[in-house]
Amino acid sequence: MWHQVTSAFASTHQQVLFDYVGSGTSLKSAFDESRYSTLGGYVQDVLDVCDELELHSRVTFIGHSVSCSIGLLASLARPELFERMILLGPSPCFANHADYFGGFELGQLEGLLLMMKSNYLGWAEYLAEMLVHVQEPESSQLRDSFCASDPEMTRTFAQACFLSDDRAILSKVTPPCLILQHRNDCLAPLSVGDFCHAQLQGSKLQILDVAGHCAHLSHPDLVIAAIREYISLPLAT
């Protein structure tokens, strides 16, 4: 998913990428439903990867969508590990609440999860087009990725993703954060970007003139430029 972005930094930075359990080329035997029924299992995976590579500090974490929450949770567990966080389309909570507009009523999220169970291929097609907001080739790439993933593992991940609420952790995050917000995003509306910016101390909010939820696929040049500018800035002391 990130190849159009990572190629721009291949000669200047050490980059670490991995597939979450249940997706890509990850080992299906590593899946444990109890571990991955919440975001905590994925948080531990991020920390395990860093430990395996003996990374102890100065890590810039780049996450997309719910992976932003996973990275922020990892930073709470190991704040000394992360130097910066770059968050593309973050959403700490997809569900609407009385004082918060996440984009979906709870019934809509439950309907998406039911659709996965009854018509997984139809769900993959529908969600891919909604996320990318264009047809070929980006939505096809995303759809093919969904279809190649194990449905049961993907449903477990989707439930942990759509039903999580991590709003309360944002004010506790200490690494500086860049929030890259899509201008027209049905999964993370502008109000969510504003909320994250208000809660994350020392954060910078940048609006990308993009429709959809996956600028790293549809507009990688904008993501590359934003990352380059942010990592060139001196850290506050």
Strand order from edge to edge, sheet including 59-64: 59-64, 82-88, 177-184, 204-211
Q: Check 45, 65, 69, 75 and give the catalytic one.
A: 65
Residue 63 pairs with which residues in a beta bridge? Answer: 87
Going by the DSSP 8-state scheme, the letter that residue 230 receives in this structure is: H
Which helix (H) or strand (E) segment is 104 a member of? Answer: none
Tokens of 26: 């990850």
Are the CB atoms for 24 and 147 separated by under 8 Å? Answer: no
Asked if 213 is an active-site residue, the reply is: yes
Helix (H, G, I), strand (E, B) or coil at 64: strand
Helix (H, G, I), strand (E, B) or coil at 111: helix
Q: Check 185, 203, 216, 218 and give the catalytic one.
A: 185
Asked if 65 is an active-site residue, the reply is: yes
Q: Check 133, 213, 216, 219 and give the catalytic one.
A: 213
Please compute Rg for the chain using Cα positions: 17
Residue 205 pairs with which residues in a beta bridge? Answer: 179
Question: Of 57, 49, 107, 51, which Cα lies nearest the Cα of 81?
Answer: 57
Which residues belong to the active site?
Answer: 65, 185, 213
